[in-house]
Chains A and B, each alone.
Chain A
């Protein structure tokens, strides 16, 4: 009954999306009432709100089915198991293709409903066009779900037990990783709808940028958290000791993030200075395109990975068709309308806008490099040449644009809008540029490390100091929240960059076969294999090593890496063990048994590696603070306007001309 209810709600929601699109089209081409947002066009907002409720109901139904482990439902039977802990039962709802698409659609519908409910700043027609675009995008996903990925399909005969969830995915990280990325993707779809709406009605204004910005900020913060969490998950779950592999699946999440970062900064220019109009629209289209390309790469089965839940060519073609329709349509619209978007305000090269243009260009270049590197193996495969593209390509080529961008990041926030004078910022700029040069030379002479980590470390110092410069000489209590957000996010970039560089430069790896009782040195650590014993969990058995580790002769800490065997489904994984200090982590992996009663151990001392993720968290926190600052600022302004209108209607002579 619950499954049928969920499916019915989904069909109704799809029908409402159809109504929403129809009403929006009538509103855009109609005259009289419709053109003013009344009549049929007046249905757009209510349709969006009801659609959101129905989608939430449908997703709730699926959650309930998983919580109860209803084995008469195909999706539950293939992805869950009655013996699983509750949190993993719930996480299994989106740990598969159908459920994750339903989550996507639900979040999208909820966003549309929220916009319809609260957003009043845009012109009526732009609003109608935006919600129409939102419904158009939504309809594609409804069709995808209902025709090729029905999450509520029943089994003819209920099975006795479910097949379980891939053990690699049975992890607390999973409960958060996909939803955060989806919130990010969906946020970018909202930005896309706003861009299409503004383009359709030719209303590319600072007000449009202010309306779109919270969605971009939110999407960007979620993507940042999603990527950070995904990186940490790969780090400790895969047991390979790295935090970024340039795997196509990782790139699929990085590309929308790069585009969103550029969009965020260009939207700021548009909101503050009414410049970069067409460029901001273009980035809105590109950012959503990257989310769709990412989804296509990950879900079509064109890449084999832990993310390709269902290798089904039909689904791949479906996503590809959606991608072509949305992106192709948006680009055609852009080509037709871009020349009618009036030129924005002008600015000089040495200005905040100028620095942000450099940021945008560098981010776009990096995006292009990552996209090419990700698609290249797929292209050559069409010619039957199989290649893989990895760090030797991405690191140096990306760095050519990334490192200069970091320099501009250090200096840019000090610049004034529109036009700045070199004399004003000369000393701080020279300081910020000279510091990394001096550091690089100093570090390069005293330590023997590779060029890229060396430059990364040197630049991180510059970025850290530069990021704090906007606070200089200001009363900290008066600094707006949005500025704090910028400062914290930029500081987070410095922290992450330092962590990446320091780990790359200084990590120490030991690979040994050790007898019980034997002691091994790894960097400053001395590690003793105390014992190896069998252990059992709720759905796995394992052998577990007990290691006694001491940092630089300090107190002894225990570490317990495991080699686990899951039995539903049967699979072996190795569980690494981590000892965290403020200045890094000891990462240990237990391998198999070697000849002569020895056990294989892989030990890494990874200095400052945790800073990679601390930085990611800071960046996301900065985004969240900026979002709160912007939204609360908007709310204040709205209340002030409401008061003004009240006073005016009360005939207050002093308020004839409110600002």
Chain B
């Protein structure tokens, strides 16, 4: 709103400079903001053994990837809440998810769960990403332990 005072008193050349400086400041501010927010808001990926050894803060958005353990999948009485265990051969994390599971979500298959860790050690998933087909596998599953890779490969080539 103080624009008239600003524009009235400044020579055109200086106005140009002011604009350039403003632009520069805005871009630098955007860069700093982005860097700061990325450190705080990026959601890290865990496999069960990492989650057990070095758990994330409770309530912080992270992703958990592993295999749905055979025999662990059950539904609650409401018909839409799922309980299962995600494991990576070394550790096991119980997961609860309310929603419609992806089409290829079955026991023994790979899954990436987005959500956060609850105080009681249960992972509360807001979203499940499962293998849609051999061309659409969550990227994180590509870099699992050799054991899991063998398992995944066995599934994909079935």
B-contacting residues of A (Cβ < 8 Å)? 166, 168, 239, 303-306, 308-309, 311, 346-350, 354, 357, 360-362, 364-366, 368-369, 372-373, 376-377, 380, 385-390, 392-393, 396-397, 400-401, 419, 421-423, 511-513, 563, 569, 571-574, 589, 591-592, 594-596, 598, 600, 602
Contact = CB atoms under 8 A, between A and B. Distances in A.
A422 B44 contact: no
A361 B23 contact: yes
Nearest to B16: A346
B98 A511 contact: yes
B15 A348 contact: yes
B6 to A, nearest CB: 6
Closest 4 CB pairs of A and B: A513-B79, A594-B79, A591-B100, A572-B103
B6 A365 contact: no
28 contacts: A303-B139, A304-B138, A311-B135, A347-B12, A348-B7, A349-B3, A350-B3, A361-B26, A364-B30, A365-B26, A365-B30, A366-B30, A372-B35, A376-B38, A385-B44, A386-B45, A388-B45, A389-B38, A389-B42, A390-B41, A393-B41, A397-B34, A401-B26, A422-B3, A513-B78, A569-B133, A591-B80, A592-B101
B27 A365 contact: yes
B149 interface: no
A410 B92 CA distance: 54
Contact of A349 (B6, B26, B142): B6
Contacts of B75: 594-595
Contact of B27 (A361, A393, A513): A361
B88 to A, nearest CB: 14
Interface in B38-81: 38, 41-45, 61, 63, 75, 78-80
Nearest to B20: A357
Contacts of A168: 132
B42 A387 contact: yes
B129 to A, nearest CB: 10
A631 B138 CA distance: 47
B27 A368 contact: yes
Interface string B12-27: 1101101100110011
B33 A397 contact: yes
B30 A389 contact: no
B34 A598 contact: no
Contacts of A308: 135
Contact of A350 (B7, B27, B142): B7
A309 B38 CA distance: 29
Contacts of B135: 166, 306, 308-309, 311
Q: Number of contact residues on B: which range applies?
A: 35 or more
A372 B79 contact: no
Contacts of A361: 22-23, 26-27
B43 A387 contact: yes
B63 A346 contact: no
A469 to B, nearest CB: 18
B121 interface: no
**Most chain-A Cβ atoms within 10 A of its Cβ — which of B16, B61, B100, B132?**
B100
Given A304-B138, A386-B140, A595-B79, A393 B38 contact: yes
B7 A349 contact: yes
B154 interface: no
Nearest to B42: A387
Interface of B: 1, 3-4, 6-7, 12-13, 15-16, 18-19, 22-23, 26-27, 29-31, 33-35, 37-38, 41-45, 61, 63, 75, 78-80, 98-101, 103-104, 114, 132-133, 135-140, 142-143
Contacts of B12: 346-348
A600 B101 CA distance: 10
A397 B37 contact: yes
A592 B105 CA distance: 11
Contact of B136 (A304, A368, A421, A513): A304
Given A357-B23, A364-B27, A365-B30, A592 B44 contact: no
B56 to A, nearest CB: 12
A358 B104 CA distance: 48
A414 to B, nearest CB: 14
Contacts of B143: 386
Nearest to B12: A346
B34 A369 contact: yes
A512 B80 contact: yes
Contacts of A592: 100-101
A574 B103 contact: yes
Contacts of B104: 572
A594 to B, nearest CB: 3
B59 to A, nearest CB: 12
Given A388-B45, A594-B80, A596-B79, A346 B13 contact: yes
A571 B7 contact: no
A384 to B, nearest CB: 8
Contacts of A598: 79
Given A304-B142, A360-B23, A364-B27, 9 more contacts: A348-B7, A368-B34, A386-B44, A387-B42, A388-B114, A422-B1, A594-B79, A600-B79, A600-B80
Contacts of A385: 44
Contacts of B33: 369, 397, 400
B99 A602 contact: yes
A592 B128 CA distance: 15
Contacts of B22: 361
A357 B23 CA distance: 8
A372 B99 contact: no
Contacts of B38: 372-373, 376, 389, 393
Nearest to A401: B30
Given A365-B30, A572-B104, A594-B75, A419 B43 contact: no
A303 B7 CA distance: 48
A396 B44 contact: no
Given A373-B34, A386-B45, A421 B4 contact: yes
A519 to B, nearest CB: 16
Contact of A589 (B27, B34, B42, B100): B100
Contacts of B142: 304
Nearest to B26: A361
A354 B98 contact: no
Nearest to B127: A240
B27 to A, nearest CB: 6
A554 to B, nearest CB: 28
Contacts of B1: 422
Contacts of A589: 100
B103 A573 contact: yes
Given A348-B12, A592-B101, A600-B100, A388 B79 contact: no
Nearest to A351: B7
Indicate the member of B1, B42, B44 with the most A CB atoms within 10 Å.
B42
A513 B61 CA distance: 27
A393 B34 CA distance: 8
Contacts of B114: 388
Given A369-B30, A401-B30, A388 B37 contact: no
